[in-house]
Structure 1
Amino acid sequence: MRQLAKLALRRELAIIRSLFFLGPLITLLIPKTTVVILIVLFVCCVGLDLARGGKLKDLFRIDATLALFGVTAAYLFINAMWSLDPQRAVTASAWFVLVALMTFSAARALARWPAPALRAAATAFAIGIGGGVAFLLFEAATGRLATVSLYNAFPVTQPDSLKGFGVRNGQITRIAPGELNAMIAVMLLALWPALLCILTRLGDRNRYLAAGALFVAATAAIFLSNHDSSKVGIVASLVVFALATPWPGAARKALWLVWCLAFALVVPLATSAYKADLHKSEYLPMSAQARVTLWAYTAKHVRDAPILGIGGSSTRKIDQSPDNRKKQWKKKLKTEGFGWRAGAHAHNVFLQTWYELGAVGVILFVVTGSAVILSLGRLPDDTQRFALAQVAAYFAIIAFAWGMWQAWLMALTGLAGLYVALAVSVYRASQPETIAT
């Protein structure tokens, strides 16, 4: 073991540069690899700290915030007992625990890394994200030209299902627009930590130019894509960044209030939107109209188990049932494109929490999330605006996009926290030490 530690330290910078360049870049190109990349970066961060003589107990110590994650996880395991899909619910609960432990311990390890290692990681991370953003911008602007060419040249790389793809004479001519959505979301959550790394690492003249180019390219890619959640996210994050620059404390408290109100008001707002016929509004895209119907259906059925919920991962099981697919779907199919039925998930984490975990789960998530948001006040003042902007982007994604139990999205949440920890750690390492007089 000691020999392995010595070998790792001899090649430390090469390992760091490789993993922090390839890891973020790969997740941008293949979002479902977030699970593997989170594990790899966790092993890198913790392993190198232990190789330098760090103690495992220091990395996994239980503080108030981690204890809240533990209480929430305990409820998730209990809640899985009445889930319609208990095996999947238990698996999701276990992954929730692992993501929390890996993120916290890796972040603590990064805080103990020496400055050269942090600089190497931050530079590699920024370059990896920059390369990924450039590729996504090209793909969004050209209708996925690179991917279409790859699929046609090497058919083995094609996905199993070509639903939504354009195919002519055996050749793919168009990729389903939604295929880019997850890549855009991964990019958005990596953007703000990458900007902080760039502004910390480069010289005064170059850093603003490089950061501005990255932001413009990422924003262009987002608005050229079809991912409306990320469009909302980039606007929200930019507003929060602007507000947090002069008033970080007020912006942090505002985000905390948004987090609490999102859980408190999501059910009545979903019901009101449907009653206002927003699901028929011509001003909303079809995806938004469908969500209004889905949210209303979910909100109505929250009352089925308001305290403890119907069980984690149960929505997916309901969606697969013949009764949901045939009977309830057809009730309003003529007037609503989505149909009055449960989907695989609510497309809104706040609403899905109410439906599957009940009021108990809502309270636990509100308290645990509040602890994370308010803890950002301990970051250096100049870094808080970047972290808060990322939180705002995250809110938009979980409010409109995927289900809360998708393993890749849970891993992305951990990676987002790890990226912020890296950017903050390299910022702290770059600050001149204060010499007592």
Structure 2
Amino acid sequence: MIVLLPMAMAVANRSSPLVLACAALFVLASRLVSDGSDSYRLALKGLRSSALVFAICGIVYPLVTLAWALKPALGLFSWGEAVLPAVSSAVLIVSWRIAPPPRWMVGALATAMLIAAGFIVAELLFKLPLRHLYGGRLATFVHNRPVVTLLLLLGPVLVLIGFHRRWMLCWLVLLATVVAILESESEAAKLGLVAAAGTFALSYAPFVWVKRLLTVVLLGLIWMQPFFGSTVERIMPEKVIEATKAGNSEARIELWKAFGDVSRRYPIFGTGFASSPHMGSHPVAAEIDPAYRTMLNVGHPHNAFLQVWVELGAIGALFLTGLVLWVMKSLSGAPADIRRIGLVTLMTTSAIALVSHGAWQGWWIAAVTLAAALLTLRPAPSQPVE
């Protein structure tokens, strides 16, 4: 099922949560049948209770905010859509601590990514011929989600293939994914590709300094979100805005300003989980500057960090801060190659999240958490770096 995921996304671009959940279910069932529940109890013993408490609170707090959300029933559905792939990836991580997947899986996954990238490029170049055959949605932007998924999986898959010295497959997957991203309409994926290349180059500097720099950058981005739109408008040169018109940069700035205004009016607890799609009908809409009030009807702020502020407030930002610090701490004790690709994946994810997609979309959570799960497959961690 994991091997099929990239191809499933290329054909049906919201399918990854279901595919990932099936994979986790099958792995869980097979482990319980072969080893019983004792193996899971042993695997979970190494987890720190503080990390478990943090994870539980991060899952429960959005549920609590549904008490003041505009449409709590729809919010509950969105919560399930986000939690399902996250829990599925967690099941895979714990299961792989008991017994790693077969060695052929990563190579097969790389081959599937190669096929999916080729399919996407062919569809874009020849005006969606296969979608005409099977009745898919006839719009080129439908491939934005699959290329983002390919980009997020790229680093972990490349480093795992590299363990087996399959360099030709590495280069083919890398080339095909880059071509698919450049051919696609996803400006977010292109920004993520730039972030990946920049972080990869930066990662050859001493890790302790890179970690500090990137931590400051990420925490700064998280805590400036209520003023992000106005800040970008003030500091971004007109030439840059003109050059990025294909990515709707002007509309995005207006969008960030509108949702930033909402976040400043509900600074602590937010407006409630998954309230962004209904913000245009929220009472706060009447208080927003009429110049960009209509932007509240877009559905979400196209900025996951800002969406956390809008819906979960400063408490949500604290959880996001804790997540960044925990990831950085985890990478500190990882082998050099996993550490490098972990940083690349983190910054690629952050760059895409900053400008695109709803924060709680299941396909997005599936791509991010599966990439994290794959990075746990390195068998022998090195000593922590001080």
Q: Same fold (TM over 0.5)?
A: yes
Q: Aligned in 2, Cα 1:352/1:279: closer, same or farther, shift over 3 Å?
A: farther
Equivalents in 1 of 2:290, 2:217: separation in Å?
35
* Aligned CA-pair RMSD: 3.0
Q: Of residues 277, 280, 283 in structure 2, which corresponds to 1:319? A: 280
Given the alignment of the two structures, is residue 284 of structure 1 paired with residue 244 of structure 2, yes or no? yes
Equivalents in 2 of 1:180, 1:346: separation in Å?
21
1:3-82 superposed matches below 5 A: 19-53=1-35, 55-60=39-44, 63=48, 64-82=50-68
Equivalents in 2 of 1:415, 1:91: separation in Å?
21
Aligned residue type for 1:180 = H
- CA positional deviation for 1:121: 1.7
Give the structure 2 partner of residue 129 of structure 1: 113
* Helix, strand or coil at the partner of 2:180: helix
Q: Aligned in 2, Cα 1:330/1:252: closer, same or farther, shift over 3 Å?
A: closer
Equivalents in 2 of 1:311, 1:177: separation in Å?
33
Equivalents in 2 of 1:102, 1:367: separation in Å?
21
Q: 8 Å contact 2:40–2:94 — kept in the other structure?
A: no
Stretch moving more, 353-362 or 19-28: 19-28
Aligned residue type for 2:213 = A
Q: 8 Å contact 1:60–1:101 — kept in the other structure?
A: no
Q: 8 Å contact 2:110–2:169 — kept in the other structure?
A: no
Equivalents in 2 of 1:390, 1:376: separation in Å?
11
Aligned residue type for 2:124 = A
1:156-195 superposed matches below 5 A: 157-159=135-137, 175-195=138-158
Equivalents in 2 of 1:407, 1:214: separation in Å?
25
Q: Aligned in 2, Cα 1:216/1:259: closer, same or farther, shift over 3 Å?
A: same
- CA positional deviation for 1:331: 4.8
- CA positional deviation for 1:88: 2.4
Aligned residue type for 2:141 = G
Stretch moving more, 255-264 or 19-28: 19-28
Given the alignment of the two structures, is residue 243 of structure 1 paired with residue 202 of structure 2, yes or no? yes
- CA positional deviation for 1:392: 1.5
TM-score for the superposition, normalised by structure 1: 0.77
- CA positional deviation for 1:419: 2.7
* Helix, strand or coil at the partner of 2:188: helix
Cα deviation digits, residues 303-348 of structure 1 (max 9, x gap): 2211111111112112367996xx999954xxx8x95544201100
- CA positional deviation for 1:40: 1.6
Query: Structure 2: which 5+ runs fail to align?
Result: none
Q: Aligned in 2, Cα 1:380/1:261: closer, same or farther, shift over 3 Å?
A: same
Query: Structure 1: which 5+ runs fail to align?
Result: 1-18, 160-174, 432-437
Q: 8 Å contact 1:248–1:381 — kept in the other structure?
A: no
Given the alignment of the two structures, is residue 413 of structure 1 paired with residue 368 of structure 2, yes or no? yes
Give the structure 2 partner of residue 108 of structure 1: 94
Equivalents in 1 of 2:188, 2:143: separation in Å?
12
- CA positional deviation for 1:290: 0.9
Give the structure 2 partner of residue 230 of structure 1: 189
Cα deviation digits, residues 255-283 of structure 1 (max 9, x gap): 33332111112232311334569799433
- CA positional deviation for 1:144: 3.1
TM-score for the superposition, normalised by structure 2: 0.86
- CA positional deviation for 1:97: 4.4
Aligned residue type for 1:128 = A
Give the structure 2 partner of residue 348 of structure 1: 303
Equivalents in 2 of 1:269, 1:330: separation in Å?
16
Q: 8 Å contact 2:70–2:282 — kept in the other structure?
A: no
Equivalents in 2 of 1:177, 1:313: separation in Å?
27
Aligned residue type for 2:270 = G
Aligned residues: 376
* Helix, strand or coil at the partner of 1:306: coil
Aligned residue type for 1:44 = F
Give the structure 2 partner of residue 162 of structure 1: none
Q: Aligned in 2, Cα 1:246/1:112: closer, same or farther, shift over 3 Å?
A: farther
- CA positional deviation for 1:59: 4.5
Equivalents in 2 of 1:45, 1:185: separation in Å?
26
1:285-300 superposed matches below 5 A: 285=245, 287-300=248-261
Q: 8 Å contact 1:331–1:340 — kept in the other structure?
A: no
Q: 8 Å contact 1:266–1:351 — kept in the other structure?
A: yes
- CA positional deviation for 1:395: 0.8
Stretch moving more, 85-94 or 269-278: 269-278
Equivalents in 1 of 2:336, 2:62: separation in Å?
35
Q: Aligned in 2, Cα 1:330/1:93: closer, same or farther, shift over 3 Å?
A: closer
Aligned residue type for 2:322 = V
Cα deviation digits, residues 107-145 of structure 1 (max 9, x gap): 12213325xx43122222222122212222333343434
